[in-house]
């Protein structure tokens, strides 16, 4: 009996080996005829042809970064085109065209923001339905925890431009901001009028602040926001030499004037536009109105993200 079972085992083993090395038949490999047959079936499917015929309707050309006469340095925007094969795979089960199941691929622009000469940046691409909160911090430490709580509750990442002197005195808050995933930028050391500083003084303000912020977070800022929006060409060029881009804003909450929440909200919502940068500070107006402001902005179909995300070419 034992010898009989051994013979059976050997026969089974030999059969498996013969199948594995048989070029004519392998149950685990699709042969060329089968692959060709599937391809023919797909391309002959009216749904596949419908997707092909409609793809141009949903495609968009990439937009190069450029320097606007008013808004200066403006980021580009990726183009998109429909991947017909992947879109077909998404729709073939239902057998009907469904634009919500289209699969897109992004096409980068030929000219990027980094290739443009130094210039201030006020906004994102005007065709990108997204905005960014720029929170300039040189006072108002008592409001930081609540602002962070509101941002976290609404799943919003912001950009905090932090003064070097303030960061030295409030390193725990700087760490908190960084650990919660927000971007931290340079806001000079002691809130000077940058436009009226010497070349060396400009560099010192930026370098000293970068050293402080890097020591606290382990990250060197990529962005610089001049205090009170005061800058000149030398400020922009110095920031560029330190691998930072100079950021201004297009929408101002004027929260430092302590407006009512409704006044602050109306000011922002009336001026809101694709690519907007919304300037704010850690003030009672922001603490009391930030949650509703976020909700209203999202209700209009805008995404809210960091300056890094806003200025990227990604859709």
Residue of 183, 181, 132, 144 whose CA lies nearest to 286: 144
Q: What average pLDDT does this structure show over 86-105?
A: 94
Which is more confidently placed, 122 or 19? 122
Confidence category of residue 44, pLDDT binned at 50, 70, 90: confident
Q: What average pLDDT does this structure show over 287-293?
A: 98
pLDDT at site 42? 77
pLDDT digits (tens, 9 = 90+) for 177-225: 999 999 999 999 999 999 999 999 999 999 999 999 999 999 999 999 9
Return the CATH fold of 130-310: TIM Barrel (3.20.20)
pLDDT at site 157? 98
Backbone angles phi, psi at 60, to 5 degrees: -135, 140
Which is more confidently placed, 235 or 39? 235
| Long-range CB contacts (within 8 A, 24+) of 227-230 | 227/136, 227/138, 227/163, 227/187, 227/188, 227/191, 227/192, 227/193, 227/194, 228/191, 228/193, 230/193, 230/194, 230/195, 230/196
pLDDT at site 66? 98
In whole numbers, what is the pLDDT of the chain averaged over residues?
Answer: 91
Quote the distance between the C-alpha of residue 126 and its chain's center: 15
pTM of the model: 0.83
pLDDT at site 270? 98
List the domain boundaries for the chain: 130-310
Confidence category of residue 38, pLDDT binned at 50, 70, 90: low
Is residue 43 pLDDT above 90, yes or no?
no
Is residue 22 pLDDT above 90, yes or no?
no
Is residue 20 pLDDT above 70, yes or no?
no
């Amino acid at each position: 009996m034992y010898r009989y079972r051994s013979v059976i085992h050997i026969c089974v083993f030999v059969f498996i080996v013969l199948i594995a090395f048989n070029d004519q038949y392998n149950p685990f490999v699709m042969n060329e005829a089968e692959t060709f047959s599937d391809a023919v079936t797909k391309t002959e499917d009216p749904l596949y042809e419908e997707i092909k015929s409609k793809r141009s309707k949903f495609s968009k050309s990439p937009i190069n970064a450029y320097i606007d006469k008013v808004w200066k340095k403006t980021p580009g925007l990726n183009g998109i085109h429909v991947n017909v094969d992947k879109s077909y795979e998404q729709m073939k089960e239902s057998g009907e065209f469904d634009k919500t199941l289209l699969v897109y691929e992004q096409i980068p622009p030929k000219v990027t923001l980094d290739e443009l000469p130094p210039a201030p940046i006020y906004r994102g691409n005007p065709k990108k339905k997204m905005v960014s909160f720029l929170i300039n911090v040189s006072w108002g430490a008592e409001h930081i925890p609540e602002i962070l709580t509101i941002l976290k509750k609404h799943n919003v990442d912001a950009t905090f431009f932090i003064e070097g002197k303030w960061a030295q005195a409030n390193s725990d808050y700087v760490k908190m901001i960084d650990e919660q995933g927000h971007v931290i930028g340079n806001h000079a050391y002691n809130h000077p009028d940058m436009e009226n500083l010497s070349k060396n003084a400009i560099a010192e303000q930026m370098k000293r602040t970068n050293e402080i912020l890097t020591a606290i977070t382990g990250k060197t800022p990529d962005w610089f926001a001049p205090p009170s929006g005061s800058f000149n060409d030398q400020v922009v060029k110095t920031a560029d030499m330190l691998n930072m881009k100079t950021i201004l804003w297009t929408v101002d909450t004027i929260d430092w004037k302590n407006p009512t929440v409704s006044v602050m909200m109306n000011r922002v919502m009336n001026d809101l536009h694709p690519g907007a940068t919304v300037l704010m500070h850690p003030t009672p107006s922001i603490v009391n109105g930030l949650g509703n402001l976020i909700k209203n902005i999202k209700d209009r179909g805008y995404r809210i993200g960091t300056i890094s995300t806003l200025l990227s070419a990604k859709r």
